[in-house]
Structure 1
Amino acid sequence: MRVFRRTWAALGAALLGLAVVAPPAWAADVDFTGAVDVDGCSGSLVRMPTSRDGDRALVLTNGHCYEGAWPVPDEVLVDQPSHRLLTLLDGKGERVADVHAAKVLYATMTGTDITLYQLDTSYRDLQRRHRVRPLTVSAERPAAGAGIRVVSGSMKTVFSCHVDQLVYRLLEKAYVAKDVVRYTQACATGPGTSGSPVVDAASGQVVAINSTSNREGGQCTLDNPCEMDRDGVITVRKGSSYATQTYWLTTCMGAGNKLDLGRRGCLLPEPSA
């Protein structure tokens, strides 16, 4: 992710017409670096905190962006073959290359809304061949009030807003998502933005995946999710958009980008027996 902070020296150099070299990525401005167009959905090239440059790269999007039929409630798909082509973008949102997904490491719409693809190439190879760098998935739960950017590789749009609240349960048709991020109204996401990484503006790391929004004010229907609190009270918020959290992934990933659902503390749902 290309992020930079202007210093007085850099500003002075810019005014004098001198070349300015951006310092390392700390935070602030978010572009399309790491964004992926997933054939009608959005996604992101990601690495985990434990990932290494030689590991096979990962692409993250929604469970409902899986290339097959939507996973039904309580269905968890693991290590499924895939031949999907995914389009990597540069920082300006321009196509860099099409890459091949070798397998679906994980996909579900139960408790969350995630598909995690594994590519047939490494982070190092992507950097060397295409100068593409991944985003890092944060191991921290996002906080209410945090500044965020929703980066849609499909729509070529970056939405800027804040985490409004963490919702206990989100109900949409027969699906139930847990501990969901609700945005402030400035992030008016819609069709084509599914799977977009939600990037923390302070750290530059992925904290969630844009998932759904209540478009028409309907109650708990497709494209009209409703909220449920701990007491079972249902609330409908027309126009609100939501994202599924991603720190769960870091609790289940080991060295070499190996998914381990039996790992102690893993929060992702497991396949049923």
Structure 2
Amino acid sequence: MRLPATASVLLSAALATLSLSAVPVAAGPAGEHNRTASVTTPAPTGPGAAKPGVDDLAGIIAMSECSAALVKFRNAPMTNAALMLTNGHCTGADIGQRFPNAGQVIVDRSANRSVKLLKADGSTAATLRANRIVYDTMTDTDAAIFRLATTYQDIKARYGIDAFIIAEQGPKPQDRITVSSGYWKKRYKCSMDKQVYRIREDQWTWKESVRYTAECDTPHGSSGSPVFGDASGEVVAVNNTGNDGDARACAMNNPCEVDEQGKVTSAPKGISYAQQTWWFTTCVNSAFELDLSVAGCQLPKPKRRP
């Protein structure tokens, strides 16, 4: 996990004030997910124009212990409630436990979290409130989406900031990418090295993870940072972990790679990973809201009670 060293102290204090109930566990998504391609959407404001997220920090979000981003689904109305993307492991203070357990999927849970929306230069444009966990899991992926207590229209009108589009396809090896951290107010630039069949860390296993080239040695605090395809400026993944190299393989902060034959390999120290976000776009309904009942939805779902 890319949580800062102080996060456990902050989380313990937050959990002491909460008494949230447990949630159902999940069944993993059916089938494998192998949809990867270059994203070639034109620059949002013309050739050569700066792309927020890729070239500056407008629209990136700073959380108390993680990073996040203001995101929307393509063609979603500006009057929709705005959404925030981060990691599943960044939601502890909202769900009443340190992290979601392996197999656990949390949907439609109330939240009350203040976050800072950043301007292009990394200064604070606004303090916004996240009032709902729309989706949260560390099963197969490590991602969460919060609903904010304001609309895209209001954010644009008041602060001049647009949300980032979640791309319908993931990156492919050699694609140039940018990891933009709200916590550190910094961007990390590199390429996608490869797609890893499985990443295992402690009790969790993630599918089809994006491995970065060594230039993106993302530090603790960069958890939840959006990963942009440089060509499009759209979100293609969410940064979630890296190998600190100071403990046994597959342990916390020392994830290992597992191939199709089950061979386990320790990643080199400093190598970091992200989880693909196109799965979210398979679960969007006609109102452009996340809906796990949509036919073909690829996200892990809560286990049904007998």
TM-score normalised to structure 2 length: 0.80
CA RMSD of aligned residues (A): 1.8
Amino acid in the other structure paired with 1:31 = D
Structure 1: which 5+ residue stretches go unaligned? 7-22
Are 1:243 and 2:274 counterparts? yes
**In structure 2, what is the equivalent of residue 167 of structure 1?**
196
**In structure 1, what is the equivalent of residue 159 of structure 2?**
130
Aligned residues: 256
**In structure 2, what is the equivalent of residue 30 of structure 1?**
55
**In structure 1, what is the equivalent of residue 12 of structure 2?**
none
Contact 1:33 1:134 in 2 (8 A): no
**In structure 1, what is the equivalent of residue 117 of structure 2?**
88
**In structure 2, what is the equivalent of residue 50 of structure 1?**
75
CA 1:262 to 1:120, structure 2 compared with 1: closer, same or farther past 3 Å?
same
Q: Which moved more, 1:214-223 or 1:97-106?
A: 214-223
Higher relative contact order (CA 8 A, sep 6+): 2
Q: Which moved more, 1:177-186 or 1:66-75?
A: 66-75
Amino acid in the other structure paired with 1:251 = T
Partners of 1:81 and 1:62 lie apart in 2 by 17
**In structure 1, what is the equivalent of residue 104 of structure 2?**
75
**In structure 2, what is the equivalent of residue 271 of structure 1?**
302
**In structure 2, what is the equivalent of residue 18 of structure 1?**
none
Are 1:112 and 2:141 counterparts? yes
Contact 2:115 2:127 in 1 (8 A): yes
Partners of 1:57 and 1:257 lie apart in 2 by 11
1:50: how far off? 3.4
1:264: how far off? 1.3
Are 1:205 and 2:234 counterparts? yes
**In structure 1, what is the equivalent of residue 255 of structure 2?**
225
Partners of 1:74 and 1:165 lie apart in 2 by 26
Partners of 1:58 and 1:28 lie apart in 2 by 16
Partners of 2:52 and 2:289 lie apart in 1 by 28
Percent of aligned positions that are identical: 38
Q: Which moved more, 1:66-75 or 1:121-130?
A: 66-75
CA 1:45 to 1:87, structure 2 compared with 1: closer, same or farther past 3 Å?
same
Larger-gyration structure (1/2): 1
